[in-house]
Amino acid sequence: MQKKLRITVEGKVYDVLVEDLSENGHAMSAYPSIAGTGVPSFVAAAPMAAPPPAAPVSVAAGAGDEVCPLAGMVESLAVSVGQKVAEGDKIAVIEAMKMKTPIMARYSGTVTNITVTAGQAVEAGHVLMTIAQG
């Protein structure tokens, strides 16, 4: 018998298909009998309540907001408040799974606000900074 289950690992939700290989749909314990008596031991699998759906990640809160495209850790910031940047300039580096991803400015303008610091964990959609266009 197959069951569709939802699991959450470190805040990320996964839908998985699990095949029950035990008899009568009862999950068997790691021990085939109770203290060697020959009496089978079973652990009944209780149905789990589905977790609430994950809150949608807010995207850019306003014009000029630069958002993180992936979850990871801010490895470094390449700009500071008041600095002028051109579209395509590197503004930050995000490290995820031992890979360093440069984040490039989507807008030309002046950095007016930085909302993260080096070493901070971020999720996809997190606002990194605001660039006033013009």
pLDDT for position 61: 55
Two tokens, residue 88:
């395509």
pLDDT for position 60: 42
Q: Is pLDDT larger for residue 115 or for residue 54?
A: 115
* Domains of the chain listed by start with CATH number: 2-43 (no CATH), 65-133 (2.40.50.100)
pLDDT for position 83: 96
Long-range contacts of 97-106 (CB under 8 A, 24+ apart): 97/72, 100/75, 101/69, 101/70, 101/72, 103/66, 103/68, 103/69, 103/128, 105/66, 105/131, 106/66
pLDDT class of 81 with cuts at 50, 70, 90: very high
Residue 82 gets the label, from left (phi > 0), alpha (psi -120 to 50) or beta, of: left
- As a whole-number percent, the residues of the chain with pLDDT over 70 amount to 68
pLDDT digits (tens, 9 = 90+) for 36-72: 565 555 555 556 666 555 444 444 457 788 999 999 9
pLDDT (mean) for 111-120: 94
Is 80 exceeded by the pLDDT of residue 134?
no
**Average pLDDT of the chain to the nearest whole number:** 78
Neighbours of 4 (CB within 10 A): 8
pTM: 0.55
